[in-house]
Amino acid sequence: MPELPQLADFPAVSEALTATVPRQLVHRAAVAETLLTGWHRIGTDQFRVAAQWPRAHQLHVSSDRTAYEPLLVTETVRQAGTLLAHTEYDVPLGHRFVLQELSVSIRPEHLAVGPVPAEPALTVKIFDVRHRAGRVAAFSLTAAVTIENTQVASACFAASWTSDSVYRRLRGGRTPATVTAPSPPPGLPPALVYRTVPADVVLARPDRSGRWQLRVDTAHPVFFDHPLDHVPGMLLLEAAVQAARVVDGEAGAPASLHASFDRYAELDQPTWIEAEPGPDGQVQVLGIQGDSAVFGCRVGMVAR
């Protein structure tokens, strides 16, 4: 993956009235989960994307409503890539988004919730654009995320898109109607993973040190904003963050995520999350189904 982008000058956010972009363009069913408010091209394969972050949110704001959670940055960047794919690169709305790699670097000290909703701006560069049958089938992007001209995060990811018909063949008949997740097992105490609502705990009680079953609740309104036939990437990332907080109990906020998604995590098979301390204060997390990994993530933590 390329180096994460550095801060570039960005004009003040317009005071004009705004609304969110159409929710279909960011693959969300709920308007309340749509974070982006606009975009425009600033150069060849370069764009500026505007967003608004809520001051209260079930997952993306800390339980005491003082700080934005790191996965809010990740979801904002994901939505920006999806929006640009459909609006600027002519990826049809019916095509499926497949996230392959993701790196995010965050400055938690700049993610405090203020007296009004934050209005982050993203400077996005698209590269490594690949085509299949005359259509864009994959690209990578970098994004610098700023709030009031202060860089709060940077990110890069690689993703691909596939048509619905090809996706159905790849999934071998698996659909939200034919695949059912088992009932989630009891979770960890919410405070252990910096949560207050038990339904937001995604790790079950451990069967041994450093290993937890992933709790897959398809009724969760954020992770399953719409029906899916697999475990969503954002749920796996949240599991990595929660596991890192358990392993490194003295740390404060996640400051970096470096993830790879190896294959679909199936809803009807147990997913095991394993975590152990790594070098340089990082926590290495794996998501495993059967005998193979579906997901890997290095989580960098910073002290409170």
pLDDT one-digit tens code per residue, 50-103 = 999 999 998 999 888 899 998 999 999 999 999 999 999 999 998 999 999 999
Is residue 13 helix, strand or coil? coil
Q: Measured between alpha carbons, how far is 253 from 244 in angstroms, rounded to an integer?
A: 10
DSSP string, 47-98: EEEEE-B-S--TTTB-TTSSBB-HHHHHHHHHHHHHHHHHHHS---TTSEEE
10, pLDDT greater than 70: no
The pLDDT of 276-280, averaged and rounded, is 88
CB 34 within 8 A of CB 21: yes
Report the topology of domain 23-169. Thiol Ester Dehydrase; Chain A (3.10.129)
The per-residue pLDDT for 9 is: 40
pLDDT higher for 11 or 127?
A: 127
DSSP string, 90-124: ---TTSEEEEEEEEEEE-GGG-B--SS-B--EEEE
Cite the DSSP H helix spans in 132-218: 164-171
Residue limits of CATH 3.10.129.10 in the chain: 23-169, 174-303
The CATH code belonging to domain 174-303 is 3.10.129.10
pLDDT one-digit tens code per residue, 171-220 = 888 999 999 999 999 999 999 998 999 999 999 999 888 999 999 999 99
Mean pLDDT of the chain: 90
Round to the nearest angstrom and report the end-to-end CA distance of the chain. 29
Q: What pTM was computed for the model?
A: 0.91
Helices 70-88 and 233-247, packing angle to 10 deg? 160
